[in-house]
Copies of this chain bind each other. A is one copy, B any other.
Amino acid sequence: MAIQVNKQLMDKGQVGAMIEWLASFGQEENGGVTRLLYSPAWQDAQHALNKFMEEMNLTTYFDSVGNLFGRLQGTDSKGKTILTGSHIDTVVEGGKYDGAYGIIASLIAVIRLYNQYGYPKKTIEVVSLCEEEGSRFPLTFWGSRNITGVYNLDHVKNVQDANGISFLEAMMHAGFDPGKYTSPARKDIERFVEIHIEQGMVMEKNQNQIGLVSHIVGQRRYTIHIKGESNHAGTTPMYFRKDAVSTACYLISFLTEKTKELDPSLVATVGKLTVKPNVPNVIAGEVEFSLDIRHHEERIIDQYCHEIFAEFKRTLESLKMEVSISQWMDVKPVMMDIQMRNLAREAAEGKNMRYQEIISGAGHDAQVFGKACPTSLLFVPSRNGISHSPDEFTHGEDLEIGIDLLTEVLYKLAY
């Protein structure tokens, strides 16, 4: 059966309308979008996408965890699939573009390709991945990790959301009966291409339209606890103090400066910090702070951690104070496929797009696929770098340029 031509989707400017349409599922009063895994808004969005794909005469199906696929069958019988798409779930009061843009761009690209060139040699599937953010349940990449065979039901048996609803119960209510689970793991995925908003301000500052992601950073997260001595702010001379606040501040200044010395791509963030007893006229006895470290090379992260934690220990020992450093996240860096990046570069150059290589500082489904098959991640700019917010925005022309590039890349891969 032939794919219906949807003239509207061929027109420039329609991507904005599609973004608004998808954002209507889970939209909040402040304009933010909340589409948590298996929630009613999530179900509505996946079923609406399914219907849209059917109307475009793509062959659609859900796998047993709720990933939605729209398939354009290839004429070549080798049985390999080019997969393209992104995730349908959002954070609480997130933006309209994060994940959603990648699904819509893939859909538009595939329909335009069919309209212009007919059936591809290699099968192309558009995927609306069920979960990436980890914003309902304390686990991430549930969609891509099922497709790549990394996760199965065992990984969620004891998982609950903040309201005490079990993962399996939520799955069941959304229409995916865990009792009928068959592994969504795929052996036929030859390549994966994801397009996403940058969620940073690098491309905007550089006035570039396209980001060719070379790496997705590795991430380590720590909790640092410093124990000094709570004391009277008036009667304790500076040289007798074991002040947890001033000591923590020294260490945070040190680790911030050290990133700049070591590598311009290295980032380290102390986003959370709590003080005890937290009273103006009492020297603080305890401070606890988070530390989030990201870089695309494991050896740089190793060297950085080695240097800062040595300084932490030296400092605390000299002050006769205690420090505990506990790690609670360790995600390795992933390199995107070089050949696919070159192919995308040629496509961008052919279309006179302003592009740059870029490192992704945020996690993406592409890092899960990147361990299983050659994978490409493409970025469009984010206004002011804002994401995970109702203020998330990308200009319509930038969205269109991204779709143009994705279309060309898929053409080169599948036709």
Contacts and interface: CB of A to CB of B under 8 A. Distances in A.
A314 to B, nearest CB: 16
A104 to B, nearest CB: 21
A363 interface: yes
A199 interface: yes
Interface string A376-388: 0000000001111
A323 to B, nearest CB: 16
A2 interface: no
A162 to B, nearest CB: 15
A231 B385 contact: yes
A238 B266 CA distance: 8
Give the number of times this chain occurs in the complex, counting copies. 2
- By CB atoms of chain B within 10 A, which of A232, A272, A278, A284 has the most? A232
Contacts of A165: none
Interface stretch (A10-18, A49-57, A245-253): A245-253
Interface stretch (A59-67, A114-122, A256-264): A256-264
A265 interface: yes
A262 to B, nearest CB: 10
A202 B360 CA distance: 54
A234 interface: yes
Interface in A208-258: 217, 219, 221, 231-240, 243, 245-246, 248-250, 252-253, 256
A246 B289 CA distance: 12
Interface string A92-115: 000000000000000000000000
Contact of A253 (B249, B284, B386): B249
Contacts of A201: 235-236, 240
Contacts of A205: 240
Given A270-B246, A271-B282, A283-B269, A292 B238 contact: no
Given A201-B235, A202-B235, 18 more contacts: A199-B234, A199-B235, A200-B232, A200-B236, A200-B237, A201-B236, A217-B234, A221-B280, A232-B362, A233-B361, A235-B362, A236-B385, A237-B265, A238-B268, A240-B385, A245-B273, A249-B249, A273-B273
